Amino acid sequence: MAAPQGLYLVRQRQSSLTQLEVWFFAGSRFVQGPPAATLGAGAAFDFVRAETQRAGSTGTLAIEGDRMTLSGPARPSTSARLDPLPSSTCLRWNEGLFCPAPRFAPGARLDGVFAAGPAVTGATVLRAAFKADGSYEIMLAPPNAGAAPGRERGRYEINGSVLRLRPVGGGTATSWTVVPYDDGTPGPAPRRLFLGGATLGRQ
């Protein structure tokens, strides 16, 4: 059986809630919750940068028959059967249901405010406000405990699963992994947004 490749959205049922995660697979390596994106056409994912930004998020995978084993520096080795679902591009594994991550259309725009809930720990992005005119304002978690959250404003561009942020004032542009998710609740789409390692809900 072939190993999963590319960006996947993982859904897990915990009690009455559906927990979301994003994983990236390339060859025999993975990163769980990829914060920074270098996922453009022909670009290789920067595993060193991902590990620096989220220690313990990277690891290796192995396929033997119909079993996939994931292991990493911050997780025990886990082996379980990998089941392709009939008439679907999704895979079922021990961690949940793996489906190719939804992507934004070229030139897509967001319009709304998204925020991390109280259950999100270690989130880089606490709140993100996007406008259809291509402007944004984000509030970032402080790098040191007790410090005030930082704020950043600028212009954004979306290309597939990559969000490019260009701060005002000539700051350094950054790229973030971005994945939209609609949970079926009323209101404009997307209802949830995976951004830079955290899952944010529309307010």
User: Structural domain of residue 188, as residue ranges?
Assistant: 112-202
pLDDT digits (tens, 9 = 90+) for 100-139: 999 999 889 999 999 986 555 455 778 899 999 999 999 8
pLDDT of residue 94: 86
Considering the domain architecture, whether residues 152 and 116 belong to the same structural domain is answered as yes
Considering the domain architecture, whether residues 180 and 142 belong to the same structural domain is answered as yes
Considering the domain architecture, whether residues 91 and 10 belong to the same structural domain is answered as yes
17 within 8 A of 119, measured Cβ to Cβ? no
Considering the domain architecture, whether residues 13 and 75 belong to the same structural domain is answered as yes
Considering the domain architecture, whether residues 137 and 181 belong to the same structural domain is answered as yes
Considering the domain architecture, whether residues 96 and 128 belong to the same structural domain is answered as no
Considering the domain architecture, whether residues 17 and 53 belong to the same structural domain is answered as yes
For the entire predicted model, the pTM comes to 0.84
- Domain containing residue 140: CATH number: 2.40.128
Q: Residue 47 in 3-state DSSP?
A: helix
Which two tokens mark 48?
């060193």
Q: How many domains does the chain have?
A: 2
